[in-house]
Chains A and B, each alone.
Chain A
Amino acid sequence: MAEFLQILISGLSAGSIYALAAVGFTLLWQASQTINFAQGEFVMLPAFFVLVFTVKMGLPMSIAIVLALFLSVLLLGALFKKLIVEPMLSHGVLPLVIATIALGLLMKEMVKEFYSPLGQPFPGLFPHDVMSILGAKISVADFANFVIAMGTIIILQLFLSRTRTGRCMQATAQNPEVAKILGVDIKRMVMYTFLINGALAAIASVLITPIYLAKFSNGEVLGLVAFIAAIVGGFNQIRGALVGGLLIGVIDNLSAAYVSAEYRQAVPMLLLIFIIMVRPQGLLGTTEGRTV
């Protein structure tokens, strides 16, 4: 029982970070029908910004993280939107999918070439202490990751539902034409979505990278997981992405422990296929979603 609880909690912790990436994914989809195949690389990159600031420039960790956050919002949010997504909106979904695949490749290669092809140690933000809850040993880092990730998502949800700007963003996502008629500055709202995605990616990056090493290829797995989490939960709901992320985190850890290490990766895939067959709109999704 203690072992199960332990696996469950570390799964929830990893899952909450996946959820951050997945929420960004669904936001982009809602706002501009962008299926971002570079989402994994978006999460991989900010950790290297932090490394550049701390290791190469010698800045303290806290300042480096704030700078990395700004840089991510600027590059992965604003620049990505302006240079790649905006000119391609009229082309439909597929060319943009290809462009983001190429963008992911570009980011991966640049990190490999200009920083290092080897995994880099990344300082953890939290002490390595272990606390005991009901006999299960839980690391402080796992717990803190969970709290920060969930806190971020809750703040985002409050922002979207309680503030004027947030509601305008939701209106833009649901029906851009009507939103425009009602005087919402659609372009700006879509831009905000991209900025938020950049920030979410940076937070996820700083939280998840200490678990692995910082490596150029980290994005491959992360992107896939974010993707699956978003679809399983429901592509047009933030809540959906949250549930999907947590579910994938838990299932991944459980299957590593109880199924087989070899087929661990296959379990989320089978879940994905099953969900698409049975409930294509996702667990919490609504059917009305946009058609491509």
Chain B
Amino acid sequence: MSRKHLFFVILAIAVLILAPLGQKNYIIYVMCSWLMFSVAAMGLNLTLGYAGQVSLAQASFVGIGAYITSLITLAGYHWVLGWLAAMGATFVIGLILGYPALRVQHHFLAFVTLAFNTIVFLVFRNEEEITGGSFGLVGMPRPEFFGIQTMQQINFYYFTLVLFLISAFVFWWIVNSPWGRAFKALRENPIRAESLGVDTRRITLLAFGIGCAFGGGAGAIMAPLVQFIEPGSFSLIHSLKILLMVVVGGAGFFYGPMLGAAVVIILPEFLRFTEGYYLMIYAFLVIVLMVYSPNGLIGLGQKLMARLKPQQEVRKDMQKGAQL
């Protein structure tokens, strides 16, 4: 990491720490929601942007994480236990789902995960004894750390921020570790990666599992944040929403999902004055963005930069990211 980059990161963290001060509860809630979805989108970015596999089930993993955390905290155990259980369970379920599914890749994995998402939704809705059926679960307690309550919205924001930073650091570490480079090698040229001794299938499976675990982690944040979960929050459309975050931000870029989550979560708040039209405007903007810049907003930014400073070469390896 260059010095300039480090400075930028510290500045961004400072902004994130100062941003909620003096804001209304609702705005802080939206920011918490943004951080939470960023974590989920980061996980999908690992699967999609780095390992090059399309998953349409991220919301179901968020859901599994949220339900596990809710059940554990409602039973009176500490949230940390729920968090670990959620990440562990989603990792294992991801491996079990991914192991057979990754035999067939690309769009077939997309279809398998699509079906999986629907099945998980039905289980949430129908197994009333455990999940509360379509009424969902209510009243999850917010955790307490070293005597500090997170009942207050602002405290909960800092709690979410810490988790977000931990997730971002882990993500950064994975991407820059030998594993992460194996992921990228796989995405760029699977045949070459395999001939260089990368165990393609195991690495892809691992990326998928870790991506799912990030989803579970996001779910663990969601349970105490919203304090109400129901099956409808984890249906297919929400998986598509998370996919949208990754692609709109820029798949395969480190900051892509965070930017994408900001667009998906925060932009509707700004478009609120348009009332019923905001989803239309939003959908229209997404289509235009995809037509002009398939690499998302970061790709668009790079295009503009390249035009302003023509001597600078745009990284060619990232262009492949969105193509799969």
Contact = CB atoms under 8 A, between A and B. Distances in A.
Contact of A94 (B122, B286, B324): B324
Given A109-B280, A113-B280, A263-B126, A95 B115 contact: no
Contacts of B244: 98, 101-102
Contacts of A220: 237
B116 interface: yes
B14 interface: no
30 contacts: A84-B287, A91-B294, A92-B322, A93-B324, A94-B247, A95-B290, A96-B290, A98-B243, A98-B290, A99-B290, A101-B243, A101-B244, A102-B244, A102-B287, A102-B290, A105-B279, A106-B284, A109-B283, A112-B276, A113-B280, A220-B237, A224-B114, A263-B122, A266-B118, A266-B119, A269-B118, A276-B112, A277-B101, A277-B104, A280-B108
B103 interface: yes
Q: Name the prevailing secondary structure of the B interface residues.
A: helix
A97 B107 CA distance: 10
Given A105-B282, A110-B280, A269-B116, 14 more contacts: A88-B291, A91-B322, A91-B323, A92-B322, A93-B323, A94-B54, A96-B290, A98-B244, A99-B287, A102-B287, A103-B287, A109-B280, A272-B111, A280-B103
Interface string A220-233: 10001001100100
Interface in A102-129: 102-103, 105-106, 109-110, 112-113
Nearest to A272: B115
Contacts of A113: 276-277, 280
A276 B101 contact: yes
A106 B243 CA distance: 17
A109 B287 CA distance: 15
Contacts of B240: 37, 101
Q: Name the prevailing secondary structure of the A interface residues.
A: helix
Given A88-B290, A102-B287, A277-B103, A95 B112 contact: no
Interface in B268-286: 276-277, 279-280, 282-284, 286
A87 interface: yes
B119 A270 contact: yes
Interface string A264-279: 0110011011001100
Between B104, B122, B291, the greatest number of chain A beta carbons within 10 A of the residue's beta carbon is seen for B291
Contact of A103 (B282, B283, B324): B283
Interface string B109-152: 00110111011001001100000000000000000000000000
A98 B294 CA distance: 9
Given A265-B118, A276-B108, A94 B251 contact: yes
Contacts of B112: 272-273, 276
Contact of B111 (A94, A112, A227, A263): A227
Nearest to A262: B126
Nearest to B320: A92
A96 to B, nearest CB: 7
